[in-house]
Amino acid sequence: MADVGVTSQGLGAVGAPGVRRVATGFVGVEGTNARDNRRPRASGEELIAEIRKRAELFIAEFDDVPASGLHILKDGVDRTPAQMLAYQLGWMDLLLGWEEGERAGREVVTPAPGYRWNRLGDLYSTFYEQWSDASLPQLREAFRNRVDDVVALVASLSREELFTSGQRA
């Protein structure tokens, strides 16, 4: 599985500028417990619970966004609400695609065919374009569905695959 880490805006792939390695080599949450940054996660179930918790906190940020505000950029924020959701959907789609490709024995190109780590802005633009016509309810539903897919992926992996580096070459 490609190593995915976290940025201040969400998911990113290890090797990209500003991306911190996630100890689990997995999606969007630290490999240690937030209450004690030195204690490793005990199980895949704990990781799943954390993914779900953070996903719900993230999606709840859009509860008060009116349809008319979906594509409005606010002062001090670098993405519109639609772009924030599209960004997360794009990274989850990439992560799930990397996994699907590896399981099928295909060579996985990261971050995506035709894109380089030093040109991620171009990749983000494709995320935004892909979801440009989606309504907030459609974006929220897609986000929840992708989180379910990521959770199913986590549930399919052993503790060693999740928490021990180098288990998935």
Per-residue pLDDT of 103-153, as tens digits, reads 999 999 999 999 999 999 999 999 999 999 999 999 999 999 999 999 999
The helix or strand, by DSSP H or E, that contains position 153, with its residue range, turns out to be: helix 136-156
Q: Rounded to an integer, what distance in angstroms lies between the CA atom of residue 161 and that of residue 159? A: 5
Range from 23-32, 39-48, 69-78 carrying the lowest mean pLDDT: 23-32
Is this model's pTM higher than 0.85 or not? no
The pLDDT assigned to 1 comes to 44
The pLDDT assigned to 44 comes to 92
Encoded amino acid at 70, one letter: L
Give me the mean pLDDT over the 83-96 stretch. 97
Sign of the dihedral defined by the CA atoms of residues 28, 121, 149, 154, in that order: negative
**Residue 74 CB-half CA count within 13 A:** 8
